[in-house]
Chains A and B, each alone.
Chain A
């Protein structure tokens, strides 16, 4: 197919899916594969384990797809096998190619494709940990589960009940890097990190020569919770709690995956409202990040003023949704809160004010010599590395990859607005900053356009049915990059629900970014991917010692917060409440 044809193609359309189908049939003709259409813009390629690597090579290397994620699934009660789904994205077409491989229950292993597509490195280890699907042809180590978790217990298997708490197994942690240089620990608690993660930076003088990462300290099994305890309708509210910053992206992503699987026609007005709230979330997330970046660079004036301006956005979110964060307006089939004319006027006025203030602040911030000098030429990620590691979001765009889910896999009301996707080629910390800065103004423009064109009509669909065994994916361009939710429908709740946050995809890029850098630039380089470890680790529930989920009413929290407590009594009181 000619390049011009691809450029004029409506991404994600039926025509685009057909084109990719034809292309795949042509390229994979010599292998024993079955290609079929799944819901929306998804194609499923069923391939045997023997040909998985060949297919991955063709899809990743020849067709130029990138790894969006891979998912393991226990399908023993359906077909007696474990399944592995490698999800590749073809940006030019807006089509997902889902490569499905089955591994019989008595021989649970699949070949690794991490050497072909390094973006699959972590998700292979994840399904090895959580489902016990062995990966051959690569070094393996424990990624998600804690070191003291038993080897033979895989929590996402269907025969493992939710809430199981095995006694800890004593084991020494495996050292991944053995270097003579001193290892500087950054984490699990460190002023440069705002969540518990662990980086070990090996230095010579002040130059970093290698990096070791250990994460997933706060993995609590939200997927297991969704697959075994909650219903379809409850999950949007728990999905929103995956992240304290981009929670709405996750709930939107989940409901979109269900809506695609159940072929629910969501009212246009609801799609507009979702897109407006998503852009508000992007603005406040980027402002938050800019503040943190200023703080890490020792420019606290920038930090304070950015967060002061962000406050107006938080109030705007509260005005539109009723909450500063964790809005709770997403439901399957639409939204719960409407936007009236009075609100539109007030939002537009606030946006004008915010735009002016942000512009002044950013001009000032980027004129501070230390800020500019320390951002320029540090933490470089080349385009080649970015492509190889399948990074997403501002990290990809700062390294020359024009990758934005809003354009590449159109969803919600983004097809009705025009906006620019900022792309830089330098790949350094300054480029990632500038991408976010430009995106703030683009988001303001998008909200204005959406409010201007807000259609009338309903905001939700009341009745729908969700058939089991449908495979669906949905992605949302969150502030940090794309969120992707993979869903296999079940009865009353998902059979398999997989969440992949952007930080999960971007953290492996930190190694090339940090090598040969000065130690002083490590915090800003780590922060430049805007890491969100709660998204990546998927922490969600507060659990008591006996394993029960605690539901704390707001009024109780307010009461507790107003009392003076002796030390260590607060958690006891929360449990008893």
Chain B
């Protein structure tokens, strides 16, 4: 019962705090840019303003609205699968495959919103997302599997080990990188790249539709921060009491989010061909290393 309550609390808390986390990210960026920046609640204000605008349903906006609503639903469903610091087995052994399917579905829906539109910028943005997404999602899935192999071959709590191995560290690095890429921040925000694509996948959206899509994008960022936090937290999960684990897990997610925010400030935007080449090289190297380490028992 405690696990269920914590999971519900996790979802409610998440849906409320993600715009605030985005506000904190904007404030951190502003600080690093030597400017004041918007108030922390600005993202909430933005979403509220967008929802107050009239709903214009053009031929392409209607399917986009439907898709974006499904996207928000899928994001919330994904949050259910992520154990909020308590138990990986909340949804039984199907958790990992379910998580993978949900993440892939969220990405596919973002791509669909851009391809549905007739706009050239949106279509180019969509294909960029697709290109990066295919490479990254493969790495993300492998990283998730490798992490779980390292902390315990099964999915049940009893099988989770607490020892830290070299192979675990390399798998977590792989997961952290692929989660960061999936969060769609600089240098991998290629689908929206403002200078050439004028917001790309988002260009045709406005009002409540844009508000819904933006909200789901922030939710998606939270999900990927949670996945990295989960990978870091998994070996220690069983050592803590559920409530403390829950609080620490949330704090860890916020810490990961802040690291993501700072990383985005330090980098410039990549190009789709450069990003693809770089990611393939990095992922192959890390997957090979992790596999070798597991093979030799390190």
Q: Do A and B come from one complex?
A: yes
B34/A368 in contact, CB under 8 A: no
B128 shortest CB reach to chain A, Å? 8
Q: How large is the interface on A (under 10, 10 to 19, 20 to 34, 35 or more residues)?
A: 20 to 34
CA A369 to CA B187, docked complex, whole Å: 10
Residues 268-311 of A, flagged 1 when their CB comes within 8 A of B and 0 if not, give 00000000000000000000000000111111111011001000
Give the contacts of A149-190 with B (CB-CB under 8 A). 182, 184-186, 190
The one of B193, B266, B270 that contacts A301, using a Cβ cutoff of 8 Å: B266
Indicate whether A457 reaches chain B with its CB closer than 8 angstroms. no
Kindly list chain B residues whose C-beta atoms are within 8 Å of the C-beta of A520.
Answer: 190, 193, 196, 271-272
Known: A304-B34, A374-B271, A523-B195. A298 touches B266 (CB 8 A): no
CA A308 to CA B35, docked complex, whole Å: 9
Indicate whether A519 reaches chain B with its CB closer than 8 angstroms. yes
Kindly list chain A residues whose C-beta atoms are within 8 Å of the C-beta of B196.
Answer: 186, 192, 519-520, 522-523
A296/B195 in contact, CB under 8 A: yes
Q: How many residues of B contact A (CB 8 A)?
A: 27
A308 shortest CB reach to chain B, Å? 5
A298 shortest CB reach to chain B, Å? 3
Kindly list chain B residues whose C-beta atoms are within 8 Å of the C-beta of A191.
Answer: 194-195, 198
B267/A368 in contact, CB under 8 A: yes
A294/B268 in contact, CB under 8 A: yes
The one of B32, B120, B267, B270 that contacts A184, using a Cβ cutoff of 8 Å: B120
Kindly list chain B residues whose C-beta atoms are within 8 Å of the C-beta of A304.
Answer: 33-35
A374/B274 in contact, CB under 8 A: yes
Please name the residue on chain A nearest to B35 by beta carbon. Answer: A304
Interface centre among A301, A373, A374, A520 (most CB of B within 10 A): A520
Known: A300-B33, A373-B274. A182 touches B120 (CB 8 A): yes
B271/A371 in contact, CB under 8 A: no
Known: A191-B198, A206-B124. A308 touches B34 (CB 8 A): yes
Please name the residue on chain A nearest to B269 by beta carbon. Answer: A298
Kindly list chain B residues whose C-beta atoms are within 8 Å of the C-beta of A373.
Answer: 270-271, 274
Interface centre among B32, B35, B124 (most CB of A within 10 A): B124
Kindly list chain A residues whose C-beta atoms are within 8 Å of the C-beta of B54.
Answer: none
B268/A297 in contact, CB under 8 A: yes
A186 shortest CB reach to chain B, Å? 8
Kindly list chain B residues whose C-beta atoms are within 8 Å of the C-beta of A301.
Answer: 32-33, 265-266
A519/B269 in contact, CB under 8 A: no
A299/B198 in contact, CB under 8 A: no
Kindly list chain A residues whose C-beta atoms are within 8 Å of the C-beta of B190.
Answer: 520
B198/A190 in contact, CB under 8 A: yes
Please name the residue on chain B nearest to A309 by beta carbon. Answer: B34
Please name the residue on chain B nearest to A206 by beta carbon. Answer: B272
B26 shortest CB reach to chain A, Å? 11
Indicate whether A518 reaches chain B with its CB closer than 8 angstroms. yes
Indicate whether A370 reaches chain B with its CB closer than 8 angstroms. yes
Indicate whether B189 reaches chain A with its CB closer than 8 angstroms. yes
CA A190 to CA B196, docked complex, whole Å: 8
A298/B124 in contact, CB under 8 A: no
Kindly list chain A residues whose C-beta atoms are within 8 Å of the C-beta of B32.
Answer: 301
Indicate whether A404 reaches chain B with its CB closer than 8 angstroms. no
Kindly list chain B residues whose C-beta atoms are within 8 Å of the C-beta of A129.
Answer: none
Kindly list chain B residues whose C-beta atoms are within 8 Å of the C-beta of A182.
Answer: 120
Indicate whether A482 reaches chain B with its CB closer than 8 angstroms. no
B268/A298 in contact, CB under 8 A: yes
B120/A295 in contact, CB under 8 A: no
CA A192 to CA B267, docked complex, whole Å: 19
CA A236 to CA B54, docked complex, whole Å: 50
Kindly list chain B residues whose C-beta atoms are within 8 Å of the C-beta of A374.
Answer: 268-271, 274
Kindly list chain A residues whose C-beta atoms are within 8 Å of the C-beta of B269.
Answer: 297-299, 370, 374
CA A520 to CA B187, docked complex, whole Å: 13
Indicate whether A521 reaches chain B with its CB closer than 8 angstroms. yes
Kindly list chain A residues whose C-beta atoms are within 8 Å of the C-beta of B271.
Answer: 373-374, 518, 520-521
Give the contacts of A440-462 with B (CB-CB under 8 A). none
B190 shortest CB reach to chain A, Å? 8
CA A178 to CA B270, docked complex, whole Å: 31
Kindly list chain B residues whose C-beta atoms are within 8 Å of the C-beta of A523.
Answer: 195-196
Give the contacts of A233-251 with B (CB-CB under 8 A). none
The one of B120, B121, B267 that contacts A299, using a Cβ cutoff of 8 Å: B267
Please name the residue on chain B nearest to A373 by beta carbon. Answer: B274
B282 shortest CB reach to chain A, Å? 13
Residues 115-141 of B, flagged 1 when their CB comes within 8 A of A and 0 if not, give 000001100100000000000000000
Known: A298-B187, A304-B33, A308-B34. A368 touches B268 (CB 8 A): yes
Kindly list chain A residues whose C-beta atoms are within 8 Å of the C-beta of B267.
Answer: 298-299, 368-370
CA A301 to CA B186, docked complex, whole Å: 12
Please name the residue on chain B nearest to A374 by beta carbon. Answer: B271
Please name the residue on chain A nearest to B29 by beta carbon. Answer: A300
Kindly list chain A residues whose C-beta atoms are within 8 Å of the C-beta of B265.
Answer: 300-301
Kindly list chain B residues whose C-beta atoms are within 8 Å of the C-beta of A522.
Answer: 196
Kindly list chain B residues whose C-beta atoms are within 8 Å of the C-beta of A299.
Answer: 267-269
A192/B195 in contact, CB under 8 A: yes
Kindly list chain B residues whose C-beta atoms are within 8 Å of the C-beta of A300.
Answer: 29, 33, 265
Kindly list chain A residues whose C-beta atoms are within 8 Å of the C-beta of B273.
Answer: 206, 518
CA A519 to CA B124, docked complex, whole Å: 10
CA A301 to CA B274, docked complex, whole Å: 21
Known: A299-B268, A519-B124, A521-B271. A305 touches B195 (CB 8 A): no
B199 shortest CB reach to chain A, Å? 8
Kindly list chain B residues whose C-beta atoms are within 8 Å of the C-beta of A185.
Answer: 120
Kindly list chain B residues whose C-beta atoms are within 8 Å of the C-beta of A206.
Answer: 124, 272-273
CA A113 to CA B63, docked complex, whole Å: 56
A372 shortest CB reach to chain B, Å? 9
Residues 194-212 of B, flagged 1 when their CB comes within 8 A of A and 0 if not, give 1110100000000000000
Please name the residue on chain B nearest to A303 by beta carbon. Answer: B33
B102 shortest CB reach to chain A, Å? 29
CA A374 to CA B266, docked complex, whole Å: 16
Residues 175-213 of A, flagged 1 when their CB comes within 8 A of B and 0 if not, give 000000010111000111000000000000010000000
CA A392 to CA B32, docked complex, whole Å: 37
B194 shortest CB reach to chain A, Å? 5
CA A189 to CA B41, docked complex, whole Å: 30
CA A136 to CA B120, docked complex, whole Å: 39
A183 shortest CB reach to chain B, Å? 8
A353 shortest CB reach to chain B, Å? 15
A-B pairs with beta carbons under 8 Å apart, 29 shown: A184-B121, A184-B124, A186-B196, A190-B198, A192-B195, A206-B273, A294-B268, A298-B186, A298-B195, A298-B267, A298-B268, A299-B268, A300-B265, A301-B33, A301-B265, A301-B266, A302-B268, A304-B34, A305-B33, A305-B34, A308-B34, A370-B274, A374-B271, A519-B124, A519-B196, A520-B196, A520-B271, A523-B196, A524-B195
8 residue pairs, one from A and one from B, having the closest CB atoms: A298-B269, A370-B268, A299-B268, A304-B33, A523-B195, A520-B271, A296-B195, A192-B195
Q: Besides A296-B195, A370-B267, A519-B196, 19 other CB < 8 A contacts?
A: A184-B124, A190-B198, A192-B195, A206-B273, A295-B195, A298-B189, A298-B268, A301-B32, A301-B33, A301-B265, A305-B34, A369-B267, A370-B187, A371-B268, A374-B268, A374-B271, A518-B271, A519-B124, A520-B196
* Residues of A in contact with B (beta carbons under 8 Å apart): 182, 184-186, 190-192, 206, 294-302, 304-305, 308, 368-371, 373-374, 518-524
